[in-house]
Copies of this chain bind each other. A is one copy, B any other.
């Protein structure tokens, strides 16, 4: 008797079948989710946490026009917008879901006919190398992307290994087929962003080089090596280089044609081929943070042959393995797609930043060798400390340990003696507020995930928290809050420093550092300084101790916050929620505050000021598309109304996560939005990373098996789960009821069985 028969006989249910297909979880990954509007995800090919994200770019607008920020460029944080009609090229590095951007390195585009080295515009693609395309001819899977480029009917296919992008272009017959290598292209480009570019053509099918840029990362160099499966018959270059005054050597060579030793601010290259009808030309493009020779070595190590389909399969197997860390049984296929695409989006960043020989470029701009860990980069910590890193602690602890090791390496290389704030590619861009490496490190140590030198880690946290010259820290230490006249985001800084300081105190306590514990426990209460009891909100205060007079609790600009208004941000005391509740007037008043947040109407003028989200990204005045409120729906647990948490999280998960290309209500933020989804779908959430407890919400899964790294598994079952049964009647772990709706990490990390009894009625006991 086979499975089909069992189904037919009604002996096993369809959801079981979905579980049975566990070797094909990768089918549920839809990389196109979030590629429209505000998701800022990319549809291209990559492997889990891979250094290469090989993806189509639909435009390369300038970051600045006439020296001023060009708001339109914001759409192109990941290079691709679903609604765009043309593709400019395929580049090798992309952030996933960010709200500011960079990268888009080493852009390749196949063309035919007359060589065109400018991209042209979306409305006049014929003026350049870009091509119209149709979504009907586009396919995006985990580690595989293909599209038909309509202009010359060239089929483009992309796949990757960790450090190598592989391209397969299938051409029509022509004696003028080309591959354009445009080193001037990039995401968030502007004139002068390219600091220097180099190309060296080693032979008729190999080139190496690098692209050095400034911008969000001030000093960033991406080294590359390119091999073509077929020798190019000819090649040529164009320099865009008005700034290189000396060019005495130009007369020595014809540097436009077949000149192999190129160096200029901006290089564009074309490789020329004869192609037969439907002839495929393949490319391997390896990256390195260190050198061209390391890029070549990475290629040799990871992609020695031309078996394109083999690399697709190898990467999809890697994805399958990654996705299998949670085997979820959902209510329907759409939820499976949401769930596994969230798993996918939460496994893209940080990215490997290290060559196959262990070398990487450090924050000090020196070459280092990672000893005993894999070095990672692109830490969007203001986002990811909340749920993303806690998720890794659950399903990917050794990877998170490596991430902490990478942060410690960053710290040791930092001339400022600071842990990363928002770091990428051997730089820190210091974006957003707080110093949330501290949260990640403390949580990883307290949970036994990071096994490195805990005292050194504590010292790094303390040193970072004492960087007086960094955004108001000096005044914060002296006065107990960041004054409004010192920082434009004084309240969010104060609240977040206070939380981070609490984390430091917890680690100090664990290590028996009484003085640090005392100091930072006191600092952890700094949030109280900015609570204005006369209005019931957090409010900016100047150095003289006076609250800011002109103040609008709904506005997100000029009110002392970043990506949030006071309504949302006043609730950001994850480490001392009951004290916050007390200060805010006690349980009843606090619950009514929460109720209002979700039910009030946010006037349009305030919505328009809210960054990074669509109208769908908010519920009432609750902004899910930005991170500061991610814990908020769980706060009904302390008002002893957990059923309100349960209803709200189910509402949010239904409201904010869809299968469509516009399926994300705000930037995915390097996996944080997806990690929120995953925790919430499993039925619990890390309200305050650094403490052992998850807070119980309402699961969306019917069941899930969390395959832990230690070989054990946590089984989650939501009995009586349905679309309507959003309420948790009871929840028990290994047969013991969780009366306080708290789930310790320590109680599940060695496996167990977590059973929810679901109901369509709130359990008000």
Residues of A within 8 A of B (CB): 63-64, 67, 69, 100, 188, 190-193, 195-196, 198, 200-202, 210, 212, 214-216, 218-219, 243-246, 248-249, 251-254, 258-261, 263-265, 291-293, 364-367, 414-416, 428-431, 469-471, 488
- Taking CB atoms, residues of chain B closer than 8 Å to A200 are 364-365, 415
Chain B, residue nearest A189 (CB)? B245
The answer to whether A429 and B249 touch across the interface, beta carbons within 8 angstroms, is yes
**A644 and B365 alpha carbons, distance in the complex (Å):** 62
Q: Report the minimal beta-carbon distance from A405 to chain B, rounded to whole angstroms.
A: 21
Count this chain's copies in the assembly: 2
Q: Report the minimal beta-carbon distance from A150 to chain B, rounded to whole angstroms.
A: 34
Give 8 closest A-B pairs by Cβ, nearest first: A192-B243, A218-B263, A249-B430, A200-B415, A252-B430, A64-B245, A260-B415, A190-B245
The answer to whether B246 and A216 touch across the interface, beta carbons within 8 angstroms, is yes
**A245 and B191 alpha carbons, distance in the complex (Å):** 9
The answer to whether B253 and A470 touch across the interface, beta carbons within 8 angstroms, is yes
- Taking CB atoms, residues of chain B closer than 8 Å to A212 are 195-196
Q: Which of A212, A414, A430 has the most CB of B within 10 A?
A: A430
Q: Report the minimal beta-carbon distance from A253 to chain B, rounded to whole angstroms.
A: 6
A416 with B260, Cβ < 8 A, contacts A244-B214, A245-B67, A291-B367 known: yes
- Taking CB atoms, residues of chain B closer than 8 Å to A265 are 195, 214
The answer to whether A196 and B216 touch across the interface, beta carbons within 8 angstroms, is no
| Residue in B261, B291, B430 whose beta carbon sits within 8 Å of that of A416 in the complex | B261
A431 with B249, Cβ < 8 A, contacts A244-B192, A365-B198 known: yes
The answer to whether B63 and A201 touch across the interface, beta carbons within 8 angstroms, is no
The answer to whether B366 and A246 touch across the interface, beta carbons within 8 angstroms, is no
**A218 and B469 alpha carbons, distance in the complex (Å):** 38
The answer to whether A292 and B214 touch across the interface, beta carbons within 8 angstroms, is no
**A266 and B634 alpha carbons, distance in the complex (Å):** 50
- Taking CB atoms, residues of chain B closer than 8 Å to A471 are 251-253
Q: What are 23 A-to-B residue pairs whose CB atoms are below 8 Å?
A: A63-B246, A67-B245, A192-B244, A195-B195, A195-B212, A196-B212, A198-B219, A202-B415, A215-B245, A215-B246, A219-B263, A248-B431, A249-B428, A249-B431, A252-B430, A252-B470, A253-B469, A254-B469, A258-B469, A260-B416, A261-B416, A292-B364, A292-B365
Q: Which of A69, A188, A260, A366 has the most CB of B within 10 A?
A: A366
**A214 and B197 alpha carbons, distance in the complex (Å):** 11
- Taking CB atoms, residues of chain B closer than 8 Å to A64 are 245
**A442 and B67 alpha carbons, distance in the complex (Å):** 56
**A190 and B243 alpha carbons, distance in the complex (Å):** 9
The answer to whether B245 and A293 touch across the interface, beta carbons within 8 angstroms, is no
**A201 and B417 alpha carbons, distance in the complex (Å):** 11
Other 14 A-B pairs with CB < 8 A, given A258-B469, A291-B367: A63-B245, A100-B248, A192-B244, A200-B365, A210-B365, A214-B246, A214-B264, A215-B245, A215-B246, A219-B263, A251-B488, A252-B471, A261-B414, A261-B416
| Residue in B198, B252, B261, B366 whose beta carbon sits within 8 Å of that of A293 in the complex | B366
Q: Report the minimal beta-carbon distance from A325 to chain B, rounded to whole angstroms.
A: 35
- Taking CB atoms, residues of chain B closer than 8 Å to A431 are 248-249
- Taking CB atoms, residues of chain B closer than 8 Å to A251 are 471, 488
The answer to whether B191 and A243 touch across the interface, beta carbons within 8 angstroms, is yes
**A488 and B471 alpha carbons, distance in the complex (Å):** 60
**A218 and B198 alpha carbons, distance in the complex (Å):** 10
Q: Report the minimal beta-carbon distance from A314 to chain B, rounded to whole angstroms.
A: 29
Q: Report the minimal beta-carbon distance from A382 to chain B, rounded to whole angstroms.
A: 13
Q: Which of A67, A245, A251, A431 has the most CB of B within 10 A?
A: A245
| Residue in B195, B252, B366 whose beta carbon sits within 8 Å of that of A291 in the complex | B366
Q: Report the minimal beta-carbon distance from A188 to chain B, rounded to whole angstroms.
A: 7
**A193 and B100 alpha carbons, distance in the complex (Å):** 30
- Taking CB atoms, residues of chain B closer than 8 Å to A244 are 192, 214-215, 218
- Taking CB atoms, residues of chain B closer than 8 Å to A263 are 214, 218-219
| Residue in B192, B259, B364 whose beta carbon sits within 8 Å of that of A245 in the complex | B192
